[in-house]
Chain A
């Protein structure tokens, strides 16, 4: 709160706290909290409220002006040991050792792009209410070095940075990012889309995903726990953001890779980002067609969310050849039409719906307003539109397995533009 108020131009902003959370607690407990003390200051809550609106302002609180915060290009020279300690203590790493970004290493990294070091790549914010920090090609290269990347990885990393989305949102819900790479660059970087693609077995998969985390921390002002980052449980995917290349080679005819679905040409190299919370490995019934099992597996996904299915090539082959789905889009349409939730469950059971969806329904936005008036046992689509459903090809074809998650698509960017 203090940091946020400072960034909004009111360093002396006055606030008080009660024990947390207050959602769903009875009036009696609210009363007790309000008549109690601020857990941080130990002072009575009501007294702090009255003080905040009656205590005269200091001259500083009443003044205007501008606070500049320039970022020095260099960190004060020190021993390697001390610099590693400094980076760790300042929260500039993900907790794992980094490669120190010396002038020579950054200069070498910059050979991976034709863009000038001082070109502004984009801006990133920890979440929509927070300030956006801007960054240059060189500053992205610094973080790429730290992640252990090589110059040939830089165009992919710059493309991710150019989209401006953080992988470490402030949200108490503990978001994570996901990176999907498409096109020829997958082969150039020898990325792994086959056996163990999501595991720790491939340098490119590892460092590209890790670089997004370091960029989010250092260039996007994200990820200071308790100050900017409020994810209560945190998310282990934040270490490398599930980075993988889509298995395009095993897609059957009619099933387009993600970047083609998003309007790019098949021969273009593209990176796409997603945001969500987790994936699960659903059990399956071999006596039932795969598509019939999907609605049951997706019950855990909130209707507010999107969903992403990571399908092994063996599953896709079955869906195409034995179950009649000639494209990803056909499967997505089927899922949209056949995955339902009751109005009662939608209205009552989903925290996110109550916070982020129903307010718009109350303002008359359709179809939300109509859904809110329907009988509680009526069924509505679990996912608002087919655009909330994503299907990706991944894996080595060793068995009929897949994963289902609540990740939603964010954006795609050309890698070629950053070569």
Chain B
């Protein structure tokens, strides 16, 4: 790509005469000269899309798990959710579980239980 450069007025001749003895002075870019710069960003990994689980056509007769990730002193939020959903959807079984460990830890046992006995899961993330 061509860069439009403009030398300082009056300096061109001096620069020419000194070329053999010293490095040429850096050209000064005009205010509207375009500059090419490198991208500062790193390389994100490709994203493997995960097909989402099919939704329920009806809640009646279904078991829906409500999972508390275990952040301190938030369990009451999930039991209130269970209570309210139970009142509005009495034909649905609303099961509250607390994931084991800290919120960084996986809980394969719980996921296996939900896959076996549940039809959907609501997870609460946050604090």
| Chain A interface (Cβ < 8 Å from any Cβ of B) | 1, 6-13, 18, 20-27, 30-31, 33-35, 46, 49-50, 52-57, 61-75, 77-81, 83, 87, 92, 100-103, 106, 124, 128-129, 131-135, 138-139, 142-143, 146, 172, 214, 218-221, 351, 354-356, 359-360, 363
Q: Which residue from chain B places its CB closest to the CB of A47 in the assembled complex?
A: B88
B47-88: contact bitstring with A at CB < 8 Å (1 yes, 0 no)?
A: 111111011111100001000001111101101110111001
Within 8 A of A (CB), among B1-54: 1, 29, 31-52, 54
**A129 lies within 8 A of B104 (CB):** yes
B32 CB → nearest A CB, Å: 6
- B109 proximal to A (CB < 8 A): no
Which residue in A12, A20, A139 is a CB contact (below 8 Å) of B40?
Answer: A139
A213 CB → nearest B CB, Å: 12
Which residue in B49, B83, B102, B125 is a CB contact (below 8 Å) of A9?
Answer: B49
| Chain B interface (Cβ < 8 Å from any Cβ of A) | 1, 29, 31-52, 54-59, 64, 70-74, 76-77, 79-81, 83-85, 88-89, 100-105, 120, 122, 125-127
Which residue in B34, B43, B55 is a CB contact (below 8 Å) of A135?
Answer: B43
**A79 lies within 8 A of B49 (CB):** no
**A75 lies within 8 A of B38 (CB):** yes
Known: A31-B84, A64-B49. 16 other contacts (CB 8 A): A9-B48, A23-B73, A46-B84, A50-B59, A50-B89, A57-B52, A64-B48, A66-B46, A68-B46, A75-B36, A77-B37, A80-B33, A133-B43, A142-B40, A219-B40, A355-B102
Determine the distance from Cα of A2 to Cα of B126 in the docked complex, in whole angstroms.
14
Determine the distance from Cα of A143 to Cα of B41 in the docked complex, in whole angstroms.
9
Contacts of B51 in A (CB 8 A): 61-64
Contacts of B100 in A (CB 8 A): 359, 363
Determine the distance from Cα of A87 to Cα of B39 in the docked complex, in whole angstroms.
10
**A74 lies within 8 A of B40 (CB):** no
**B101 lies within 8 A of A30 (CB):** no
Of the listed residues B41, B73, B100, the one surrounded by the most CB atoms of chain A closer than 10 A to its CB is B41
**B41 lies within 8 A of A218 (CB):** yes
Answer whether A220 and B44 are a contact pair too, CB < 8 Å, given A10-B52, A23-B72, A57-B52.
no
Determine the distance from Cα of A142 to Cα of B37 in the docked complex, in whole angstroms.
9
**A64 lies within 8 A of B50 (CB):** yes
Contacts of A20 in B (CB 8 A): 126
Determine the distance from Cα of A74 to Cα of B48 in the docked complex, in whole angstroms.
26
Contacts of B32 in A (CB 8 A): 79
Determine the distance from Cα of A13 to Cα of B32 in the docked complex, in whole angstroms.
45
Of the listed residues B41, B42, B54, B103, the one surrounded by the most CB atoms of chain A closer than 10 A to its CB is B42
B56 CB → nearest A CB, Å: 5
Answer whether A92 and B40 are a contact pair too, CB < 8 Å, given A77-B1, A80-B29.
yes
**B44 lies within 8 A of A69 (CB):** yes
Of the listed residues A20, A21, A30, A56, the one surrounded by the most CB atoms of chain B closer than 10 A to its CB is A30
Q: List 5 A-B contacts (CB under 8 A).
A: A57-B55, A66-B49, A80-B29, A80-B33, A134-B43
Determine the distance from Cα of A202 to Cα of B40 in the docked complex, in whole angstroms.
25
**B72 lies within 8 A of A53 (CB):** no
**B35 lies within 8 A of A78 (CB):** yes
**B1 lies within 8 A of A219 (CB):** no
Q: Which residue from chain A places its CB closest to the CB of B33 in the assembled complex?
A: A79
Answer whether A31 and B80 are a contact pair too, CB < 8 Å, given A53-B64, A100-B37.
yes
Determine the distance from Cα of A73 to Cα of B81 in the docked complex, in whole angstroms.
49
**B42 lies within 8 A of A69 (CB):** no
Contacts of A220 in B (CB 8 A): 42
A61 CB → nearest B CB, Å: 5
Answer whether A80 and B35 are a contact pair too, CB < 8 Å, given A21-B127, A22-B74.
yes
Contacts of B43 in A (CB 8 A): 70-71, 133-135, 139
Which residue in A23, A34, A78, A360 is a CB contact (below 8 Å) of B84?
Answer: A34
**B34 lies within 8 A of A79 (CB):** yes
**A66 lies within 8 A of B72 (CB):** no
**A73 lies within 8 A of B38 (CB):** yes
Contacts of B81 in A (CB 8 A): 30, 34, 49
Contacts of B103 in A (CB 8 A): 355
Determine the distance from Cα of A139 to Cα of B64 in the docked complex, in whole angstroms.
47
Determine the distance from Cα of A249 to Cα of B70 in the docked complex, in whole angstroms.
49
**A83 lies within 8 A of B56 (CB):** no
**B55 lies within 8 A of A55 (CB):** yes
B28 CB → nearest A CB, Å: 11
**B41 lies within 8 A of A78 (CB):** no
Q: Which residue from chain A places its CB closest to the CB of B73 in the assembled complex?
A: A24
Determine the distance from Cα of A22 to Cα of B50 in the docked complex, in whole angstroms.
30
